[in-house]
Structure 1
Amino acid sequence: MAPSTISPASTSTTTLHDEASKHHAEALAAQPNVNPGVPGIPYFIPQHKTSPGTAYPSNTKTPTLFQPLTIRSVTLKNRIVVAPMCQYSVAATGPTTGVLTPYHIATLGHYALKGAALVFIEATSVQYNGRISPNDSGLWSDAQIDGIKSVADFVHAQGALLGIQLAHAGRKASQAAPWIGGGHDGRRRNGMRATKDVGGWGPGGVVGPSGGKEMIWDGKDESDPEGGFWEPRELTLQEIQEMIEDWKSAAIRSVRAGVDVIEIHAAHGYLIHQFLSPVTNKRTDKYGGSFENRTRLVREIITAVRSVIPEGMPLLLRLSTTEWLEGSDVEKAAGGSWDVESTIKLAKLLPDLGVDLLDASSGGNYRSQNTSQFTIKDYQTKNAGRIRKEVKEEGKKLLIGAVGLITDAEQARDLVEEREATIGEEAQAAHEVTDAEQGRDPHADVVLVARQFMREPEWVLRVGHKLGVDVAWPSQFLRVRFPKL
């Protein structure tokens, strides 16, 4: 697929509106007892006196979780980030394909209103055929910029930052939304192929580092009605170069849309992860084989994106720190897998490439991964702590984000808090050498929370209350704020 072009932005109407909004806000601000609106928004939004989620000054030490964090030119008011969550809620066909809607303002905006420091838009494809489903968001066209800008305007009006996760699904693309054909919980365990008649791109349009029936994610070919994934086609060298250009173009559009932070999605079995792993990358050219070759694509994408975004804009990378295949027959047959050691080796290269934070997730690249995820809460955060420790010992500056089953206030606090090891921890460290420093150092610098925000959009406010931190609430919700403990 050829890289798309970017046309110059038309700003005349926007500029006139912004000027009018600015003068109106200045006039209101000059009057006593008047709540001025946020300038630059095409509708009235009250200006919060203090941005929700901000900790007020206190006589006691504020937990690190509620202390600001500056990354390049951007400052997070606290360390709580809303992780990208696919919503499968955009048009699959027509002129608004891949365009965010008021639904995304309602959901993402509410997390910002209730105090999250940084809110991420879901995985957003850099190419038409890179979406997980036809109903996923995209940024391969200028026509998709305004939808993101609408979300950015609202999020910024609440004093929060907006991030976008740029992605390509690779061999896991062209699936139906998970609740289609699903059970009472809205999930179809094995997925369901999205055919062309529902906006999918079916055979020939799904791509990966390697192709063929053996690369179908669930191992079921297209004749099997229980199969949920398409057979991928191997990308050509020319298509890989076009892919890199499309990541660059999507990054430019992100900046134009008002996004504050960009994350590159290289986890969960999607395209970049497929290139990283010897389980899914069988190429014999410069993009396959050795560690250097398998990491070439992600390094080239990072370099391309970094070259077109502002110097002060943070760049994040999400990685699956392990595929959970260690010691398996799959790993033995492939001659290896992507594991924590591989992640650490790549992580040490990231600061010099311009990456500021590693978002440490796991899994998703092979159907029979062996993990206790969703049952043990530290199934990922221990890996994050180990990576942070080893990168720090290398003398490299790389922030680490912890993600996965972070639901409790104390759990979130402890992940980012620097503290002295207790006697019990020191004794345990004598038996578990790899955890010796983790008794004192934090596992991560920020926490990325997903599902818990769906359950409790006000989670930041609840966590602040539980930890005894006096945090600012939205102006419109002050009458119902939690009483001080």
Structure 2
Amino acid sequence: MLYTPIKFRNVELKNRWVMSPMCMYSSENGLANDFHYVHYGSRAQGGTGLLIVEATGVEPRGRITNHCMGIWNDEQASKLKEIVDFVHKNSDSKIGIQLGHAGRKGSTWENKQISVEEGWETIAPSPIPYHPSERIPHELSVEEIKDLVQNFKDAAKRSVDAGFDVIEIHAAHGYLIHQFLSPLSNIRTDEYGGSFENRSRFLLEIVDAVNEELNENVALFVRISGTEYAENGWDISDSVKLSAELKNHSVDLVDVSSGGNIHGAKIPVFDGYQVPFASQVRNEAGVKTGAVGLITKVEQAEEILQKGDADLIFIAREILRNPYIAVQGSFEMHEDNFFPHQYLRAKISS
């Protein structure tokens, strides 16, 4: 199944391998540069079905660090378009972008919060810092929340104009949207806090706004944290309920990760440790899912698909180590897969 095509709207992926979005901390003023051009281009030459560009800020405060990618202006979108055009011209890969906002986890460097002078004032649904040593984030007003929804919509339009095939909304890992979802980081008493429906409102408004900018040639994914490993926090039952709602709002796939919102949460880590979350969401919410988390081998990825645990295999660190894992896996499994014609003398056929 790894080398079976799959379609989302009119976007057909040639195989089930996905390069998971991973921050590179290599931008200045949010701009992509030569490093990003080579980084993403090389994975496309490796035959990966879908590449997703790292978490990209929809406004300056949306970045995790001041060296993260942005798409809040046309210059940033133009630089990203160069990468998109290269991938489309020189491979069978599709390319997506992850739109996000760091919220209270922004203005950092090397996992430590930096000063307002070096960075910026962070924002959140409630005035609760991620770590007690950090400054209290600014609590968003309803009007400011509406502005942020518009930021996501504007970023989606720029992404579509740049030629991206997939838009992924980052609602995981303790960043702003996840902060709204969790009752541990969202203690609001207005229409954006309290009940599950209210805490989900921000994400669903973003999904609806982004969908207004999409067409059948651009698919929509959402990344969530299946659980945050904390008592009385966001858990897998919430994720199943949310994913069913996302499907009703024309989300094509839920990319299921975990954790990130509660400092010091104890996370049991083992090969494929997040796959059960993707499986439960897929089978209980009836939505396509992506599995991610210590998936490092071709046989492991194939088994996940064969068992019906997920529809796509998202890989992160392994594709940093080996940009050619998709094409090498096709050699092992005797399957057809994209391989650059310039490299054909190295193709293994038996």
TM-score w.r.t. the length of structure 1 is: 0.70
Cα distance in 2 for partners of 1:324, 1:408 equals 26
Q: Give ranges in structure 1 of 5+ residues lacking alignment.
A: 1-63, 92-96, 179-190, 222-229, 326-330, 393-397, 418-440
Q: Which residue is 2:158 aligned to? A: 253
Residue correspondence of structure 1 range 39-54 to structure 2 within 5 A: none
Q: Which residue is 1:217 aligned to? A: 130
Partner SS state of residue 52, structure 2:
strand
Cα distance in 2 for partners of 1:357, 1:208 equals 26
Amino acid at match of 2:267: T
Q: Which residue is 1:269 aligned to? A: 174
Amino acid at match of 2:81: K
Q: Give ranges in structure 2 of 5+ residues lacking alignment.
A: none
Q: Which residue is 1:174 aligned to? A: 107
Amino acid at match of 1:476: Q
Share of identical aligned residues, percent?
A: 42
Residue correspondence of structure 1 range 206-245 to structure 2 within 5 A: 206-211=122-127, 215-221=128-134, 230-245=135-150
Partner of residue 145 from structure 1, selected from 69, 77, 88: 77
Q: Which residue is 1:282 aligned to? A: 187
Q: Which residue is 2:273 aligned to? A: 379
Matched, 1:127 2:59: yes
Partner of residue 361 from structure 1, selected from 234, 253, 257: 257
Deviations 1:130-154 (A, max 9, x none): 1000000111111211111011011
Any conservation in 2 of the 1:265–1:319 contact (CA below 8 Å)? yes
Partner SS state of residue 21, structure 2:
coil
Deviations 1:154-208 (A, max 9, x none): 11111211100000000000111x3xxxxxxxxxxxx22233554x11xxx2000
Cα distance in 1 for partners of 2:220, 2:338 equals 28
Partner SS state of residue 78, structure 2:
helix
Amino acid at match of 2:131: D
Cα distance in 1 for partners of 2:317, 2:341 equals 25
Q: Which residue is 2:50 aligned to? A: 118
Cα distance in 1 for partners of 2:348, 2:115 equals 49
Q: Which residue is 2:304 aligned to? A: 415
| Structure holding more strand per residue | 2
Q: Which residue is 2:4 aligned to? A: 67
TM-superposed CA distance for 1:465, in Å, is 2.1
Partner of residue 458 from structure 1, selected from 301, 310, 324: 324
Where relative contact order (Cα < 8 A, 6+ residues apart) is larger, the structure is 2
Partner SS state of residue 295, structure 1:
helix
Cα distance in 1 for partners of 2:322, 2:251 equals 31
Partner SS state of residue 223, structure 2:
strand
Q: Which residue is 2:30 aligned to? A: 98
Partner of residue 79 from structure 1, selected from 10, 13, 16: 16
Cα distance in 1 for partners of 2:260, 2:285 equals 24
Any conservation in 2 of the 1:134–1:194 contact (CA below 8 Å)? no
TM-superposed CA distance for 1:260, in Å, is 0.8
Partner SS state of residue 97, structure 2:
strand
Matched positions, count: 349
Partner of residue 402 from structure 1, selected from 282, 291, 296: 291
Question: Which has the greater radius of gyration?
Answer: 1
Any conservation in 2 of the 1:72–1:314 contact (CA below 8 Å)? yes
Partner SS state of residue 385, structure 1:
helix
Cα distance in 2 for partners of 1:82, 1:312 equals 20
Partner SS state of residue 166, structure 1:
strand
Task: Detail structure 1 runs of 4+ shifted over 4 Å in the superposition.
Answer: none
Amino acid at match of 1:355: V
Calculate the aligned-residue CA RMSD, in Å. Answer: 1.3
Cα distance in 2 for partners of 1:194, 1:101 equals 24
Deviations 1:4-55 (A, max 9, x none): xxxxxxxxxxxxxxxxxxxxxxxxxxxxxxxxxxxxxxxxxxxxxxxxxxxx
TM-superposed CA distance for 1:470, in Å, is 4.1
Matched, 1:291 2:196: yes
Q: Which residue is 2:283 aligned to? A: 389
Any conservation in 1 of the 2:272–2:292 contact (CA below 8 Å)? no
